[in-house]
Structure 1
Amino acid sequence: MRWRGWLALCCLCGLQPGHAAAPALPDLAGAGARIGLDQVRRVGAVEHAADGVAQQRYAFQPAAHPSIVMTPAGDAWDWSGAGELHVRVQNAMPWAVTLDIEIDGTGSTRLQARVGVPAGPAQTLVVPLRATSPREQGMQVGPPMPFELRGRSILLATTVQGTLDRHHVRAIRLGIPGPQAVQTLLFGKLSVTAGEATLHEAYAGIVDRYGQYTRGRWPEKIDSDAALRAAVMAAPEAAKPAGVDAHGGRLDGQKLRKTGWFHAQRQAGRWQLVTPEGHPFFSLGVNAVNIGDQRTRVEGREFMFTGLPPDRGAWAAFHGRGDSRRPGQAASSGIGHDHGRWFDFHAANLYRIDGAGWLSAWRTRTLDRLQAWGFNTLGNWSDPALGQAHRLPYTRSINIIGDYANVSSGYDYWGRMPDPFDPRFVAATEAAVAKASADVRDDPWLLGYFADNELAWAGIGPQGRWGLALGTLAGEAASPAKQVFIAMLRKQYVTPQALAAAWGIPLDSWKALDATGYAAPVPSEAHPAIARDYSAWLSHYADAYFRIVAAAIRRHDPHHLFLGGRFAVYTPEAVAACAQYCDVVSFNAYADLPQHHIDMARMQALDKPVLISEFHFGSTDRGPFGAGVVPVGNEAQRGEAYAKYLAAAAANPQVVGVHWFEYTDQPVTGRLLDGENSHIGLVGITDIPFGGFVRAVRQANEQAQPSGGR
């Protein structure tokens, strides 16, 4: 590290009055401990902000990581009684600047945080002196920063990583990652305080009685029951679609084969879904049109809610208890407040709107809206009663659960992969398909079945494609998949020495592969047989899974489509196997355009139709803190992104539909399952539609006429 110089500075009292002994911390405006500058220039004399506080201007130069490093005059600071670091900071640039904060302790202990410092007045940057994140608070994304606290603008680092020996703190480092031009910030006093009062205040009182974020304003936000009812009862913006058959097929399209059920047909170079009447049908769907997904945990974090209705009387129906802990599932890892009491703001708001008959009223209103907005399909996880109303075609989910073996691919977001070579998986599949099809197998309004959701077909990183092969060989000796894989290798290579030579590994016996945690080699150019063998295994694995599921569906319901497994992470081998056994290959394709997630050339080569079973665009200007998987800048851009995505999908001859995720915004404080809390809905948790976005969606849906369909 190259230093521009050292300033010997005097000590500054750091803890607030009434707290324990003060460490010697620097005041970056001119007094304190030692300050080192690496690719940073101190600019001019001390300045005073509007509130009279002294600040010093620092110019961070274009470099890999220009930084200010503060060290104690003695050996270390003792922060054993402290809970937060407070830093006075002001951004002198007209744009937000990313600031990294690192606090070094004894040995390798270090805390790290990153914040965006907005342009404008000075902030008090607060860094908790321990690892923390919004997940600890029960949600995936924390409240927007800064926020006002007793007249001060507070910029809390909501995510802090690492560990710190607070008894021996040896340095504080403030840096900007890779600036391309000079970035200027002003710093003032640094101090540490006892406790974590700021961390608590950042989350305190953030949700009102309607489930809305208390510190924000947006057009659809309401403040009374009367305003809620008026906004929800507004008439739909358009009439039900004309020029379609009973199931939504276009009457102006080519006449296709009539089977009495939905099916897929290739005509004039384009794949089409076809209604029971024989008309082309481009599936415009919405996922999770239901009641219950908007429940959020209240136990242990009651301080986050203002005006929470009591758990008695009519409101008791919207309170409940449960446990959302899912061992081995990365999606819920580290999510705090994952059991105990919850509250359903969405259902409670529907009760405020419609009284005792709220559920029936919601179902009718929702179907009216979806048809008025140009949708023609109820996507996955939607209320079964909506499908049974026979106003929109619907899908059915097959959830294969049971006590069967599993395999880790290294991703495991929703859990480990089912082991299709375990006979218990075959039995579980049979039971799941029987249950899913029991009441719908003879219903022509059923579009088809999805099996499972976002299975971990691939791992993480550049070698992620091989994750399932590596995970299989790392499994226990009793793993059915592992034994099948080893049997394949023994048949191909006959002797362990032949496999060792092909893979470039030491292997004295086949028994060595039985070891739990066996570290199989990753593919390399020097040993191409590894990739060939892993690819063969991935194909065999996927073939077994899709063959078993497809056979069960055909036995229990020979009429309806098998819509695939809703790929999120996938391999070429898994997609090829799906295409062999499924009628339609579905992808949860989160990207700016479908072709940036799906290999459309491969799908054309496989000659299979594609259904985009999930996509969305989110922003942070309507309450919930997250912007989903594909964020855009604001609400208006959500509509623009939707129209662009849908147009690209409709223009592709392989694509037969797109399904938006999801109908209702997620709770501000996170849903029960995994703490997701994003603004990605067509309607808010108040059931009020997002007017501008819905208008853009309706217009895009009306214009979605796939080429080749007329």
Structure 2
Amino acid sequence: MKRVALFVTLALCASPFDHAAAVEVTDLSTATSGTQIQLLQVERVGSTEHDSRGTALQRYAFQPSSQPQLVITPTNGMWNWSGQGALQIDVQNAMAWAVTLVVDIDGAAPNQHLHAVVGLPAGPAQTLVVPLHDASPRSFGMQVGPLMPFDDHGRDVFVATKVEGAIDPAQIRAIHLSMSAPQAVQQLLLGKVDTAVGDASLQDAYRGIVDQWGQYTRGKWPEKVGSDAVLRAGHMQEQHTLNAEMAERHGLDVYGGRQDIALTRTGWFHTQKAKGRWWLVTPDGHAFFSLGVNAVAADNSRTYVQGREYMFVNLPLDEAPWHTFYGLSDSRDAERVASMGLGANRGRWFDFYEANLYRASGADWLTIWRRRALDRLQAWGFNTIGNWSDDALGKMHRVAYTLPIYIDGTFGNVSSGFDYWGRMPDPFDPRFARAVEQAVANATENGRKDPWLLGYFADNELAWAGFGPQGRWNLAMGTLRGEARSDAKQAFIAMLKKKYGEPAKFAAAWGIALADWSALNATNFAAPEPGDAHPAIAEDYSAWLRMYADKYFSTVAAAIHRHDSHHLFLGGRFAVNTPEAVASCAQYCDVISFNLYADVPQHGVDLDAVHKLDKPVLITEFHFGSDDRGPFGKGVVSVWNEAQRGEAYARFVQAAASDPAIVGTHWFEYADQPVTGRLIDGENSHIGLVGITDLPFGGFVEAVRKANLGLSH
């Protein structure tokens, strides 16, 4: 059964008082005095029922309509929940599938409101617990909270783990239980409604969720281990399978290129268009469709333990031999949206993945892991080591590899409003060019003479655009909102002056009041949004976006060509983009790269527009996740279960290979993310080829292998 993702927006309040008593609100299985129950497109069905534990419940049928709802109000005045920590409702989903229930709580004032949306799975009766204070999985250090319900001392409890809003608990006017536009009758069994003192259930939802191997304690799946002996046996058995699978490789040159498609031989990886199709080409001159994996590294699975030790069962002591796998870090970055509101974001961390490698292989675990990782990539039909991977793997010259160029330094920046990984670098700041020169020199130092190197990426997922229908223009608008000292802002103003000459002419074209050009220097200048009434705004924004992108990509490309004339510039790994940025990338880069999350590439990027640019395209991130192998998150693109991950992978790579511009796909990522979230942003999704124990997910990997080998012959 699919688990529906849980989203809750709720709120409050005052801190709970230890002396406060729970408040009995009502009992929906009986007629309780002191409350009124209004049914709107909801029918009460039959008489009182009882579950296996004797809990009294009443069946309610929510009818197909825009928002059928059950409304509970006090007979007189308002409820006073002062000192209470949570609302509790006995509920059972009477359907054979998950049902989405909406919970709204109204306060006295119009702006005081709590809103919750919970996905109730089919099954026995449970207690729905809604904390009455700010809380979210992010505040606990992870992006997605534990799966619900969970067994709390013999009681099935469903805790709403995400809570937002504001309300005065002393003045509660109504509770609404509703559904959003059901297409058929949905039945729930509802019983006692009351409050609870404190938030013990919320803490218990996270308590003891990770075992000594880093696995989720409350779930079961085929690859889960229960002892070090089982872990070691799993790795030994797998190696025999890998040896047999690697022996099946044929029809490929040493780099993994197709010997049946001969193209130009240069001694280096390059691009070539032949018979209407773009290819990457191996140094030996054979067609190469890049099937890659990102983050093939042993140190990507660190998770904070400081301040949340209660989440871990049998956490190894910080002493030999486990001391090696502990460390201290601080992942705060005020400009990154990815880090905002993230609790447990500093202090002591533990690396379960590396610790498991030690358990399986002993002191020489890293050498053994590297050899095994390359065996796997080749046996599973991959031919490329993607971004953020262990540098040593590429140097072993068994699989082609890529290198990142990290452009860091002290230079200006511009906000587009996206800013997930930070603000956009200001390429007009002279310090940016110097930072690029140093970054490129560092990145190319060891790879410029290596034929196994496919090429370089510059940065990752820059904020070329913002959110919403006008997001395309946000970088231009953000530039004008900047301070006068911004080099990008001054370059934009210079462009406008050159085009319009007089400020009055510019003001008329944009439909704004502007006494003189100096008015544009104001910080937070009210940059107008484009519209039909003044088309010049969009025209000028578009010209600026292209100028901005040209400055960025030309600066990086020139530095790469100075330091390494042999290898490819693989673009900037677009997550958000504008037509101007993509066109600029096509002009200055050898390949346009997209981090593309969709069911197929054709649904994630406008390939018709890309085809007109006549440049090869590399999909540098994609994945499909589910929540049935430990980590709670399903990734950016989710499927119902593990079996569907393999089906989705095959569909994606086949669709990619069918497009004449696409020259490869890189899966994100090699290993699952930690159950309790990775250091940088708390991501905790099941999206790996292997788990936290480094054991592969057998069914998924076999589907991946078949799909990859099908493209190589």
Structure 1-normalised TM-score?
Answer: 0.95
State the Cα deviation string for residues 636-691 of structure 1 (Å, max 9, x = none): 11111111111111121111111111100100110001001111111101010111
Q: Which residue is equivalent to 1:88?
A: 90
Q: Which residue is equivalent to 1:157?
A: 160
How far has the Cα of 1:187 moved from its partner? 1.2
| RMSD across aligned positions (CA) | 1.5
How far has the Cα of 1:24 moved from its partner? 5.5
Indicate conservation of the 8 Å contact 2:87/2:196, yes or no. Answer: yes
Structure 1 position 132 matched with structure 2 position 135: yes
Q: Which residue is equivalent to 1:227?
A: 230
Structure 1 position 206 matched with structure 2 position 206: no
State the Cα deviation string for residues 147-183 of structure 1 (Å, max 9, x = none): 1111111111111221121222222221111112222
Q: Which of 395, 408, 413 matches 2:415?
A: 408
Q: Which residue is equivalent to 1:7?
A: none
How far has the Cα of 1:277 moved from its partner? 1.4
* Residue identity in the other structure for 1:20: A
4+ runs deviating over 3 angstroms: 16-19, 21-24
Rounded to whole Å, the distance in 2 between the matches of 1:17 and 1:672 is 34
Q: Which residue is equivalent to 1:28?
A: 28
Structure 2 residue matching 1:205: 3-state secondary structure: coil
Structure 2 CA distance for partners of 1:19 and 1:67, relative to 1, 3 Å: farther
Rounded to whole Å, the distance in 1 between the matches of 2:195 and 2:579 is 53
Structure 1 position 284 matched with structure 2 position 291: yes
Indicate conservation of the 8 Å contact 2:88/2:127, yes or no. Answer: yes
Rounded to whole Å, the distance in 2 between the matches of 1:141 and 1:66 is 29
Structure 1 residue matching 2:342: 3-state secondary structure: coil
Structure 2 residue matching 1:432: 3-state secondary structure: helix
Structure 2 CA distance for partners of 1:18 and 1:97, relative to 1, 3 Å: same
Rounded to whole Å, the distance in 2 between the matches of 1:483 and 1:356 is 57
Q: Which residue is equivalent to 2:191?
A: 188
In the alignment of these two chains, the number of paired residues is 690
Q: Which of 691, 697, 702 matches 2:704?
A: 697
Q: Which residue is equivalent to 2:6?
A: none
Structure 1 position 217 matched with structure 2 position 225: no
Q: Which of 260, 270, 288 matches 1:252?
A: 260
State the Cα deviation string for residues 391-440 of structure 1 (Å, max 9, x = none): 11100000111111111111111111111111111111111111111111
Structure 1 position 46 matched with structure 2 position 54: no
Q: Which residue is equivalent to 1:624?
A: 631
State the Cα deviation string for residues 184-235 of structure 1 (Å, max 9, x = none): 2121111111111000111000000000000000010010001000111222
Rounded to whole Å, the distance in 2 between the matches of 1:93 and 1:531 is 51
Rounded to whole Å, the distance in 2 between the matches of 1:508 and 1:35 is 62
Alignment map for 1:556-595 (pairs within 5 Å): 556-595=563-602
State the Cα deviation string for residues 273-315 of structure 1 (Å, max 9, x = none): 1111111111111100001110000001000000111101111
Structure 1 residue matching 2:420: 3-state secondary structure: coil
State the Cα deviation string for residues 524-559 of structure 1 (Å, max 9, x = none): 112111111111111011010000000010111111
Structure 2 residue matching 1:226: 3-state secondary structure: helix
* Residue identity in the other structure for 1:25: V
Indicate conservation of the 8 Å contact 1:232/1:689, yes or no. Answer: no
How far has the Cα of 1:50 moved from its partner? 2.7
Q: Which moved more, 1:107-116 or 1:324-333?
A: 107-116
In structure 1, list runs of 5 or more residues that go unmatched.
1-15
Structure 1 position 316 matched with structure 2 position 329: no
Structure 2 residue matching 1:252: 3-state secondary structure: strand
Q: Which residue is equivalent to 1:525?
A: 532
Q: Which residue is equivalent to 1:56?
A: 58
Q: Which residue is equivalent to 2:10?
A: none
How far has the Cα of 1:73 moved from its partner? 3.1
Alignment map for 1:377-392 (pairs within 5 Å): 377-392=384-399
Rounded to whole Å, the distance in 2 between the matches of 1:178 and 1:513 is 48
How far has the Cα of 1:493 moved from its partner? 1.5
How far has the Cα of 1:579 moved from its partner? 0.3
Q: Which residue is equivalent to 1:428?
A: 435
Structure 1 position 419 matched with structure 2 position 421: no
Structure 2 residue matching 1:638: 3-state secondary structure: helix
Structure 1 position 497 matched with structure 2 position 504: yes
Structure 1 position 457 matched with structure 2 position 464: yes
State the Cα deviation string for residues 240-298 of structure 1 (Å, max 9, x = none): 522222222222212x2221111111111111111111111111111000011100000
Structure 1 residue matching 2:527: 3-state secondary structure: coil
How far has the Cα of 1:64 moved from its partner? 2.1
Structure 2 CA distance for partners of 1:311 and 1:21, relative to 1, 3 Å: closer
Structure 1 residue matching 2:639: 3-state secondary structure: coil
Q: Which residue is equivalent to 1:13?
A: none
Indicate conservation of the 8 Å contact 2:290/2:663, yes or no. Answer: yes
Rounded to whole Å, the distance in 2 between the matches of 1:407 and 1:22 is 51
Indicate conservation of the 8 Å contact 2:24/2:193, yes or no. Answer: no
Rounded to whole Å, the distance in 2 between the matches of 1:294 and 1:398 is 22
Indicate conservation of the 8 Å contact 1:24/1:77, yes or no. Answer: no
Indicate conservation of the 8 Å contact 1:111/1:129, yes or no. Answer: no
Q: Which of 664, 676, 680 matches 1:657?
A: 664
Q: Which residue is equivalent to 2:70?
A: 68
Rounded to whole Å, the distance in 1 between the matches of 2:622 and 2:464 is 19
Indicate conservation of the 8 Å contact 1:28/1:55, yes or no. Answer: yes
Indicate conservation of the 8 Å contact 1:24/1:72, yes or no. Answer: no
Q: Which moved more, 1:362-371 or 1:43-52?
A: 43-52
Indicate conservation of the 8 Å contact 2:23/2:196, yes or no. Answer: no
Rounded to whole Å, the distance in 1 between the matches of 2:507 and 2:103 is 48
Q: Which moved more, 1:577-586 or 1:433-442?
A: 433-442
Rounded to whole Å, the distance in 1 between the matches of 2:524 and 2:44 is 54
How far has the Cα of 1:495 moved from its partner? 2.0
Indicate conservation of the 8 Å contact 1:55/1:186, yes or no. Answer: yes
Indicate conservation of the 8 Å contact 2:278/2:661, yes or no. Answer: yes
Q: Which of 108, 112, 121 matches 2:115?
A: 112
Rounded to whole Å, the distance in 2 between the matches of 1:641 and 1:27 is 45
In structure 2, list runs of 5 or more residues that go unmatched.
1-15
* Residue identity in the other structure for 1:98: T
Q: Which moved more, 1:328-337 or 1:52-61?
A: 52-61
Rounded to whole Å, the distance in 1 between the matches of 2:390 and 2:356 is 18
How far has the Cα of 1:705 moved from its partner? 4.4
How far has the Cα of 1:18 moved from its partner? 8.8
Structure 2 CA distance for partners of 1:487 and 1:18, relative to 1, 3 Å: closer
Q: Which moved more, 1:239-248 or 1:267-276?
A: 239-248
Q: Which residue is equivalent to 1:671?
A: 678
* Residue identity in the other structure for 1:212: Q
* Residue identity in the other structure for 2:208: G
* Residue identity in the other structure for 1:156: V
Structure 2 CA distance for partners of 1:359 and 1:62, relative to 1, 3 Å: same
Structure 2 CA distance for partners of 1:21 and 1:212, relative to 1, 3 Å: closer
Structure 2 residue matching 1:192: 3-state secondary structure: strand
Indicate conservation of the 8 Å contact 2:293/2:667, yes or no. Answer: yes
Q: Which residue is equivalent to 2:8?
A: none
How far has the Cα of 1:17 moved from its partner? 14
* Residue identity in the other structure for 2:277: R
State the Cα deviation string for residues 354-387 of structure 1 (Å, max 9, x = none): 1100000100111111111111110001100001
* Residue identity in the other structure for 1:197: A
Structure 2 residue matching 1:86: 3-state secondary structure: strand
Rounded to whole Å, the distance in 1 between the matches of 2:640 and 2:317 is 37
Structure 2-normalised TM-score?
Answer: 0.95
Indicate conservation of the 8 Å contact 2:624/2:634, yes or no. Answer: yes
Structure 2 residue matching 1:162: 3-state secondary structure: coil
Q: Which of 341, 354, 366 matches 1:359?
A: 366
Rounded to whole Å, the distance in 2 between the matches of 1:232 and 1:153 is 36
